[in-house]
Amino acid sequence: MKKRTWILYLAFRYLFPQKRFGTFFTWISTAGILAGVTLLTVVLSIMNGFDENIAQKLIQINGPIKILSPALMPDSDSFKKSLKKAAYVKAVTPFAQGITLLQHFNRVAFPKCIGFDPHSVQQVLPLQQFVEQGNLADLSKGAFVSAALAKEFDFHIGDTVDLYSPMSLEAIKQEELILPQEVPIVGIFKTGWADIDRDTLLLPLPLLQELYGLGNQVHGYSVEVDRKHIQEACTALNAILPPSLTAYTWHTLNKDFLYILRMEKAMCFFVLLFVVMVAAFSMSSGLMTTVIRKQREIALLQTLGATQWDIALIFSVQSMLLGALGTVLGFLCAYGVLSYRNTIVHLLTGWFLPENALWDFYSVETLPVAYSLQDFAAITFFAILVTFGASLFPVIHLKRLPIMQHLRGE
């Protein structure tokens, strides 16, 4: 092993000659690898952040497991007790949902309405953390309005709205008159998930059951379980549920959306990897120039006993050192960019991006980020692999050079 240390020494000295902090070729090659690694790290870390942020929001808003059915379900204590007996199940809360017509003075809207049991909802869904004004304990007294809807209508706590049920259409056909429900606003909430925050009302379950004529029935149940055993809990619930009811994990209910996110991440990695490849092959041309320029030194090494393999290894190690240096600096640069990501996005907003781009397309207000050791390992592996592959071209060319003849000619 010690006999080969001169190979590493020479590879290092070619990149960093004595009394010089690197050569122009060293830093140009490093800059290319740095740029590619920075882009890969920034994009993949942001995509990971979106994955984690979206997963967290989906679980917080819907619960880790939902029990759904094409038909209505009973809202009975005995049924809920039977669900709680399933493995890993901690709590259960019923819900109903639908569209209503909201009227406030001469303005109307058609918000989504979700009815929750005020007594059990907090055991499953952390709705209190989304409340901006009011207290979730007052849900039984009126409606909580999403922040965007409150801003649009200039709602305040204490205002009242009229809610018309879609069932009123059937009453009109029968020439009957159904008066609207006058509901006070008791709070304003914001989840950070655009689909919910645009136009949603949270209502007490009995009120929505009355608006939709559900009686003592509901549209489904949200179930809180041990988060480490979500799939096992779902399987246990399906084993005790009647055939007409099915338990779904949050992942299953949103599999299409999550698949799109995974595809976006994979395509970003694939496309941005070409940046590293371009930088590596640019480095290859520099190595090729170095091989030709150092023919005398290479010939001298061969006269001292170095084999062609030893000479080739010098340039291969040199390229891998450049790849390692560019990768480390790329990670550091990416960390700096990600630390100020929201400031950068704020500066770009209005110039190159729509003002509400994150909100409209990804349902988040800020740019999330999550670091993954698996991604770091993959980036490092491919960066070193690509730079090593780029060194093969000058190595192959090296074998064709009549170096010994050149030395004799000198």
Q: How confident is the model at residue 368 (pLDDT cuts 50, 70, 90)?
A: confident
Q: How confident is the model at residue 6 (pLDDT cuts 50, 70, 90)?
A: low
User: Which pLDDT value is given to residue 249?
Assistant: 93
User: Which pLDDT value is given to residue 185?
Assistant: 94
Residue 75 above 50 pLDDT?
yes
User: Which pLDDT value is given to residue 5?
Assistant: 72
Q: Is the pLDDT higher at 400 or at 180?
A: 180
DSSP summary character for residue 179: P
Mean pLDDT comparison of 146-160, 300-314, 351-365, highest-scoring range: 146-160
Q: What is the largest CA-CA distance in the chain?
A: 111
CB 200 within 8 A of CB 182: no
Alpha-carbon Rg of the chain, whole angstroms? 32
CB 378 within 8 A of CB 273: no
User: Which pLDDT value is given to residue 290?
Assistant: 66
User: Which pLDDT value is given to residue 409?
Assistant: 47
Report the distance separating Cα 185 and Cα 138, nearest Å.
10
Residue 94 above 50 pLDDT?
yes
User: Which pLDDT value is given to residue 1?
Assistant: 41
Closest CA to 202 of 123, 107, 95, 64: 95
**Alpha carbon of residue 204 to chain centroid:** 33
Using a CB cutoff of 8 Å and minimum separation of 24, what contacts does 12-21 make? 12/321, 14/290, 14/294, 14/314, 14/318, 15/318, 15/321, 15/322
Residue 387 above 50 pLDDT?
yes
Closest CA to 44 of 387, 383, 398, 410: 383
Average pLDDT, the chain: 81
Q: Tens digit of pLDDT for each residue in 209-222? A: 988 888 889 999 99
> Which tokens go with 259?
């698949």
Q: Tens digit of pLDDT for each residue in 146-163? A: 988 998 899 999 999 999
Write the CA distances from 285 to 34, 137, 281, 324, 390, integer angstroms: 18, 70, 7, 18, 9
CB 181 within 8 A of CB 210: yes
User: Which pLDDT value is given to residue 284?
Assistant: 72
Question: 396: alpha, beta or left, given left = phi > 0 and alpha = psi -120 to 50?
Answer: alpha
Q: Tens digit of pLDDT for each residue in 240-290? A: 998 889 999 998 988 888 888 888 888 888 888 888 888 777 777 777 766
User: Which pLDDT value is given to residue 265?
Assistant: 86
DSSP summary character for residue 180: P
Least confident of 91-105, 125-139, 263-277: 263-277
Which residues does 139 contact at the CB level (< 8 Å), separation at least 6? 116, 118, 121, 186, 187, 202, 203, 204
Dihedral angle computed from the Cα positions of residues 303, 388, 336 and 355, in that order, rounded to the nearest 10 degrees: 140
User: Which pLDDT value is given to residue 298?
Assistant: 67
Q: How confident is the model at residue 410 (pLDDT cuts 50, 70, 90)?
A: very low
User: Which pLDDT value is given to residue 165?
Assistant: 81
| pTM of the predicted protein model | 0.71
> What would the mean pLDDT of 105-133 be, rounded to a whole number?
90
C-alpha triplet 369, 371, 373: angle, nearest 5°: 165
User: Which pLDDT value is given to residue 350?
Assistant: 61
Closest CA to 98 of 221, 246, 253, 211: 211
Q: Tens digit of pLDDT for each residue in 18-49? A: 666 666 677 777 788 888 899 899 989 988 88
Residue 174 above 50 pLDDT?
yes
> What would the mean pLDDT of 86-95 be, rounded to a whole number?
92
Report the distance separating Cα 401 and Cα 395, nearest Å.
10
Closest CA to 21 of 333, 325, 317, 251: 325
